Amino acid sequence: MKSTELNLIPIFVAIYEEKNLSKAASRINVSQPAVSKALKRLREIYNDPLFHRNTAGVEPTVFATDIYPAMSTALKNFTSTLSASREFDPKISNRIFSIAVVSTMSYSLIPKLIQQIQLCAPNIALEVHPQFTEDLESDLRLQRYDLVIDLAPRERSVLKSEVIYTERLRVVCRENHPRIGDSISLTEFLSEAHVAASRWHSRSSLLNADDISELEARNIVIRAAGAFEMMPIISATDLIGMLPQSAIDDLGTYYKLKALDLPFERQQHNLCMIWHPSRTVDRGHRWLRQQIKKAVLTE
């Protein structure tokens, strides 16, 4: 493919996503003959029909489906560099930012962030997702999310991260637990059955021995979707768990929970903003990160 034919990429993406040549032409503001001509050239380059006609428009071939992720990523990366080079005015921008957030922060931080954004950027919208991403690096590179708020990445990564919040962890059980009083030893902690927040895609816990070595010996009998899903389970059983202090402050009294200091040295963990380095200089993305840090300061 010649460098002058790079304009075929947005045409391919438009056809693939619209499944119709007329709609693709309208979307990218060119004539339908121009789209047909571009498709002909793409077929020559790849030696594949790419799309077959049907009653509704066109449907992609297997090969077109295979190359679509790379084409879409190339287009998104290019458009993100364009947006990064343009001025961003939050007062008039109508961008939609997509954020994946670990559950405790979605309850405490997001309402403050929304209130703050509505005051200074009334046309900007947020999409807030649970932190259920299976491949963090891929999801951020492909811009499924603009930003993720989670524990710091454990492995070496190209991703950028910045600590925004340090949370105190506590052991939690029901108020009238038959064996646990006002404190808990490590032996008692490890002898009890536990409920833990899950890393859903790997059948492991959100916090594990990589974070705190003593956790390897826990007897986990239930993994819940998140911190707030753990609370009713702990309230109704003799299971114990580990929860951040902010979650306990929000709903611990409602569920009649008792919070105790952890029986080992580490008492805190950090939550981070995580993003792909290609977004670092994007003015809108930089503004979003500033808004998140500002909202954290009002916690």
Query: Which of 225, 231, 238, 223 has its CA nearest to residue 255?
Result: 231
Q: Give the model's pLDDT for residue 80.
A: 63
- Residue 285's closest CA among 73, 131, 74, 83? 83
Which region holds residue 143: left if phi is over 0, alpha if psi is between -120 and 50, else beta? left
Query: Locate tokens 């032409």: which residue?
Result: 25
Which residue intervals of the chain are DSSP H helices?
Answer: 8-18, 21-28, 32-46, 62-85, 103-120, 136-141, 186-191, 227-236, 245-251, 283-297
Model confidence at 99, pLDDT cuts 50, 70, 90, reads very high
The whole-angstrom separation of Cα 15 and Cα 22 is 9
- The residue-averaged pLDDT of 112-121 equals 93
Q: Taking 70 as the threshold, does the pLDDT of residue 116 lie above it?
A: yes
Residue 268 has pLDDT above 60, yes or no: yes
For the residues 130-142, what does the mean pLDDT come to?
77
| pLDDT for position 74 | 81
- Over 60: is that where the pLDDT of 140 sits? yes
Instruction: Provide, rounded to the nearest whole percent, the portion of the chain with pLDDT above 70.
Output: 88
Helix (H, G, I), strand (E, B) or coil at 178: coil
Q: Tell me how far apart the alpha carbons of residues 299 and 108 are, in angstroms, rounded to a whole number.
A: 8
Q: Environment class of residue 8 by beta-carbon count within 10 Å: exposed (0-12), middle (13-18) or buried (19+)? A: middle
Average pLDDT over residues 173-196: 93
How many Å is the maximal CA-CA distance in the chain?
77
- Rounded Cα distance between 127 and 158, Å, is 24
Integer-rounded Cα Rg, in Å, for the chain is: 24
Give the phi and the psi of residue 230 in degrees, each rounded to 5.
-75, -30
- Residue 211 is predicted with a pLDDT of 60
Higher pLDDT, 194 or 214: 194
Q: Rounded to a whole number, what is the distance in angstroms from the first to the last CA of the chain?
A: 53
Residue 77 CA to residue 75 CA, distance in Å, equals 5
Q: For strand 193-199 and strand 219-224, is the pairing parallel, antiparallel, or unpaired? A: parallel
pLDDT-derived band at 134 (thresholds 50, 70, 90) equals: low
User: What pTM did the predictor assign?
Assistant: 0.64
Confidence of residue 138 (pLDDT cuts 50, 70, 90): confident
Mean predicted confidence (pLDDT) in 243-250: 86
Distance CA 60, CA 65 (A): 6
Is residue 179 classed exposed, middle or buried when 0-12, 13-18 and 19+ CB atoms within 10 A define those classes?
exposed
At residue 297 the predicted structure's pLDDT band, cuts being 50, 70 and 90, is confident
Angle at 277 between CA 275 and CA 279, to 5 degrees: 75
Helix (H, G, I), strand (E, B) or coil at 27: helix
pLDDT band at 24 (very low <50, low <70, confident <90, very high): very high
Over the chain, what is the mean pLDDT?
A: 85
